[in-house]
Structure 1
């Protein structure tokens, strides 16, 4: 019984190693490294500084830093091209921004 157990313990790692050494399929064509570098456009006016973050020309985040107040962000979380905003029934014309509560 111990011999059978020993043989099984020696065979199972070999099966896992044989599976890992299989030739992977051709990797998908990777985007150029230049396209993956974020591009930041900074817009300054009297009341705030706006930073537009883009990757491959697609806007994915806007960082708004007002002169008075804390920085807030509008982010495209699902990649559909629309920045996610929330509206309140009490003031339908005002978008509720997202603030960073904690960073680590």
Structure 2
């Protein structure tokens, strides 16, 4: 082999460039906000309220607009939960 020829740079695998990035931060109400990006475009946002159940905004149709995921709509408005505290027989 000719020692004057440099070794070519490592070729990046196609799949490794398709991994999303996640930015995690807290908003002004101390809710945890996770923004998922692919190629610089936000495609999903997960919001975990300080005292509540997480919900997601997702760009399902690729139009650049985030919509509340249909499965999460049932959680809003919040329905009351009833617990049995005491029972007499």
TM class by smaller structure: 0.5 to 0.7
Distance 1:56 1:35, change over 3 A: farther
Q: 1:40 aligns with which of 15, 18, 22?
A: 22
If the length of structure 1 is used for normalisation, what is the TM-score?
Answer: 0.49
Q: Deviations over 1:27-86 (max 9, x none)?
A: xxxx9434310100011144200000001111100000011110000000001101124x
Instruction: Report which of the two structures shows the higher radius of gyration computed on alpha carbons.
Output: 1
Within 5 Å, give how 1:83-102 maps onto structure 2.
83-85=66-68, 99=72
Instruction: Report the aligned-residue RMSD.
Output: 2.8
Structure 1: gaps spanning 5 or more residues: 1-30, 86-95
Matched, 1:68 2:51: yes
Q: Which contiguous aligned blocks of 4+ residues in structure 1 show a shift greater than 4 angstroms?
A: none
